[in-house]
Amino acid sequence: MNLESSPLITALQASGHRITRQRRVVLEVLEESREHLDAESLYWKARQRAPRISLATVYRTVAVLKQMGLIAEYSLGEEHGHFEAVPETPHYHFTCLGCGRVVEFDAPQVDRAVQELAERENLEIRAVQFSLTGYCARCRAGGPDGR
């Protein structure tokens, strides 16, 4: 991945933030990940690439990226946050309460409702978090991780 042209790198540079080796590693992990990483998981993945990185650096980098709106934090049915780079198009999450599986889905109806609300009330909406929780088909059927 050419991280030099990454939207996260570009936005950080444009806002005057330094792009240190450790920040670059955190950004690489976030952009390459296909899962929603909590801070600890992000730290351990980053540490595989930069063994001297600290957990504090990961937390500081995540805080800056969240403040800038470049990453989103989701609870996904747990008490701690999970992070992902903000996608170009909105998507939403279903989390199974039985096995913890997360399903991402598009919902054009939600997108339209948000747009209509913004126009009707003259709002500037910065973030939308719409998530569902319940039980997946396997857990409903009493699978190994079922209820």
Among 1-10, 37-46, 105-114, 133-142, which is the least confidently predicted range? 1-10
pTM of the predicted model as reported, rounded to 2 decimal places:
0.61
Residue 139 has pLDDT above 80, yes or no: yes
Summarised one tens digit per residue, pLDDT across range 46-62 is 999 999 999 999 998 88
Using alpha carbons only, give the angle 49, 50, 51 rounded to the nearest 5 degrees. Answer: 110
Residue 56, number of CB atoms within 10 A of its CB = 9
The predicted structure's pLDDT at residue 125: 85
C-alpha separations of 30 from 11, 59, 104 in Å: 15, 13, 17
The domains of the chain, with CATH numbers, are 1-86 (1.10.10.10), 89-147 (3.30.1490.190)
Query: Please, which residues have CB within 8 angstroms of residue 141's CB and are 6 or more apart in sequence?
Result: none
Which is nearest to 9 in space by CA: 80, 60, 85?
85
How close are the terminal C-alpha atoms of the chain, in Å?
A: 41
Mean pLDDT value across residues 39-51: 92
Q: Residues of 17-36 as b/e, b for ≥16 C-beta within 10 angstroms? A: eeeeebbbbbbbbbbeeeeb
Segments in 1-147 forming alpha helices (H): 7-14, 21-32, 39-49, 55-67, 108-121, 137-140
Q: d(Cα 94, Cα 77) in Å, to the nearest integer?
A: 9
Decide the pairing of beta strands 131-134 and 92-96: parallel
